[in-house]
Structures are given as C-alpha cells and as structure tokens.
A and B are shown apart, each in its own frame.
Chain A
Amino acid sequence: MGGVRTAGDLVARVMASKALRVNEAKKYVADKLGISVFDLCDSQVMREVREDLNIGHVLARPGGAIGIEAKFRIAKLLDIEINSVKRFKERSECSL
C-alpha cells in the first residue's frame, strides 16, 4: 500500500491487532482518519493527513514525529494497543 508514504502501516496494524480482513481494516482506518478508503493509498492526500496528525511520514522534517513518538499517536488515533508503546510507557513510568 505504500507504508508511511500512504496508510499502509496503519492498515497493517489494524489488520493484525483486530484480525480484520483487508477491506474491513481499510474502512476502520479511513473512518478514524476521516477520509475515504480510496484516499488511503493517495500519497498526496496522506502526506497532508499524516503531517497534520504528526504520525510519521516518509519525508523527515524538523519536529516531525518518528519511531516511538509517531507510534504513541497512532495507538491513540486508531484505538489499538501497540506493544512497543505499551512497554515504553511501563519502562519510562509514563502515565500518558
């Protein structure tokens, strides 16, 4: 789907964490992002969406979330548990 250039990582996360088939996972992500399923793979639309939400993007930019920072936001946005985020919170005694 295009990974962080589009919404591929988000659909893959929902597919695995909720064991959803691809069309269900896409709809779930599109609804959470407030866009259409068609737009999930549009790199132009998704650049703006990802930058607005600061959930990591293929283009590095100053202040842009990457790695665990982006995953904190993704877990909250998609209402899913991300293992590394959960462990980061536990190890850093972070109550976010």
Chain B
Amino acid sequence: MKKIFSRMGDGSALWLSEDELRQDLRTGTEDAADRGKIGPLSDDELERLFEICAAPQKVVSVEPGQEVVHSFDAGTLKFPLRGGVPVDRLGTVMAHERAFCSDTFEVGHSDYSFKPVKAIIAEERQSMEQIQLNATIPVYYGAMPNLGLYTKPDGPIDNWSELLPMGKVQEAREAQEEACEMAIQDIFFVAEAMHEAGSDGINFDTVGASGDADFLASLLAVEKLKKAIPEIHIEMGMAGEFVLGMHGGLKYNDTRLAGLYCHKQLELAEKAGVDIFGPVINTKSNKSVPWNIARSCTFVKACSEISKIPIHPNAGMGVGGVPVTSTAPVDAISRASVALIEIGKADGL
C-alpha cells in the first residue's frame, strides 16, 4: 500500500500508512482530551484532518473566502536580527507591509522584554512614532513579561530557581510575589508610553514563561492598563499549553493559576480585558506531525467554543503542530495552519 509522506515533530521525514495516520490523529486528540479534560475531535473532524494530512500536494491551503489574519510575535527581530538583513525596524515594517503583505506587524526591542525597554523608552517611543507615520497596517508593540529578569544577578530579587532546590519554598514564593509587583509596574510604564506613541496595541508575548507568577503579573498588568486606558488593544500570547506552578499558590479571581490549560487561561485573559488571545500547544518532537496537529486542534477548538474574543493560536517552530525546528518545513506549517483554522476555528494565527 502506498505510504503517505509526513514528518515527525522534530521535522524529520516520515512515511505512514493510512491506518498509521488515522491512529496518530486519534491518539493525538485523545491525549489533549485527557490532559485538558475537554472533548476529543469528532469522527468527521478526524476524517477532515486525515484529508489535510494525506493530501499529496506539498503546500495545502484553506478554500477561498476562509482566510484568516496573521499577527506576530518578535516581529522586527526576525528579518534584521535572525535573518541578518541590514535594515532598520522601519524598513522591516515596510518590507512586511509592501513585500510580504502581512496583515499586521509588531515592533519589539532586540532584548524583547518589558524590563530592559524601560531604560530606553524614549528611543522606543520615537521609533514607534516614526513607524506609525509610515505604516498603513496595524503595528503593535510587543515584549515579554519575563519575570526571570528580576532575579539576581540581573535584578534585585533572590532567584526562586535556586531557592527551590534548597528547600526554601516560602522564600521562593515571596521572591516571585515581589517580582510580580515589579513586573506589573514595568509593563504598565512601557505599554502606556507605547500607546502614547500611537501603537495600535500591545502584544504580551510568551506569557507564563516563568510560571504562574509570570501569568499573574500579565493579567494584573492588563487589568491595570484597561482601567487606565480603556481603548488600548491588548493581545496575549502564551508560553506553553499549561501554566507551570513555580509558585503553586497564586490565584487570579479565585482561580489557581498553576496547571491551567489553554481554555482555562483564555477565561482569565478575557476577564482581565485581553482583546486577542494566543493559545500555545507544545509540539512533541517524538510524535508525528499529524499526532501533534490533532492534539493542537483539540485544545484550540476548546478555546474557540467558549471564547468571546478572537483566538490567534501560535503556529510556528515548536508550537501548534509545527515541528520543533527553526526552519520549519512548509508542508508541515501549511497543514497545521489549515487544520487550526478549519477544525480549531481559529480567527487568526
């Protein structure tokens, strides 16, 4: 029987029989359903995923009229920094608008965290003001809460990752709570300034990377921003499919943050005032891309079914069913994208 070309989650090539492909799709959705305590994909949805994954074309796409918009994280880092193209951020924005035809774009500092931006806010503001005069597409300002930057030696607070192995649990918790307060102030300071500069919105990227305190700082910062500037637009992209319990006891609106999966993260983001939510589903490199796509779609569908705001799942290297590689193959990216839109009912990527 003819084998179907696919890939593993690390990007390496893989050939599956029809039965193997169907089995991977089924166990992928069952894994998500079991972990997230959500419903698995239906037989019809799994059959459509089979068609998407088994399509012989290298690149697949949605039908005309079913397109969705793209938003970015680390937008201005990719062309000049990662790609090494000698062009400034304004040039990068114009290239994305005029050459790549991006729907939106995002400007960020090379350090890409709120804390370091605070010291150079005047320069960042000036750049955003100039970019806004020239850009037609919406341009956001993005950065990470990155609570780890508040620990010694980069910051003033004891490092909870060092305290925890020493058994100093209470000290580790207090350190995270202190860092949380500092991060809220810094995020508010930077976001308010970039809003003043004309930014179309603020993108909170990689939220929860340092655990539940990181997520709490972001939620409280959003709440504070929305209270002070009701018209500010905020997109929140997560760091992982569930919140790490580095603290373990932190709550937002009486909900414990540690261990929350995407659809529960979304509910809190909505309560805080987030306008666009970006769930993350981690790709398992030792499972196939179809397994990962089915798993991602199950989580994203659970978000879409309850969401009142647009959902932009992260679909790039190592998340959203896309292989864990910095040169993600277009066959895998296009299949993951179509699946997230058709089955996950994503509003954007």
Contact = CB atoms under 8 A, between A and B. Distances in A.
Interface of A: 1-6, 8-9, 11-13, 15-17, 19-22, 25, 37-38, 40-42, 55-56, 58, 60, 66-68, 70-71, 74, 81-84, 87-88
Contact of A16 (B97, B98, B135, B138): B138
A11 B59 CA distance: 25
Given A12-B104, A83-B198, A1 B97 contact: no
Contacts of B199: 83-84
B200 A84 contact: yes
A15 B348 contact: yes
B133 A67 contact: yes
Contacts of A70: 136
Contacts of B346: 22
- Interface range, B side: 35 or more
A36 B135 CA distance: 26
Interface in B27-44: none
Query: Does more than half of chain A's interface fall in helix, strand or loop, or is it mixed?
Result: helix
Given A1-B70, A15-B347, A68-B132, 14 more contacts: A2-B103, A4-B137, A8-B67, A8-B102, A12-B348, A13-B200, A19-B276, A22-B68, A22-B69, A38-B65, A67-B132, A68-B133, A84-B133, A84-B198
Q: Which of A9, A12, A21, A56 has the most CB of B within 10 A?
A: A12
B195 interface: yes
A19 B226 CA distance: 14
A8 B309 contact: no
B217 to A, nearest CB: 23
B310 A9 contact: no
Contact of B275 (A16, A71, A82, A87): A16
A66 B134 contact: yes
B261 to A, nearest CB: 21
24 contacts: A3-B96, A3-B97, A3-B101, A4-B101, A8-B101, A8-B103, A9-B103, A9-B137, A11-B69, A12-B104, A15-B310, A16-B233, A16-B235, A19-B275, A19-B308, A21-B307, A41-B65, A58-B101, A66-B136, A67-B132, A67-B136, A84-B200, A87-B198, A88-B133
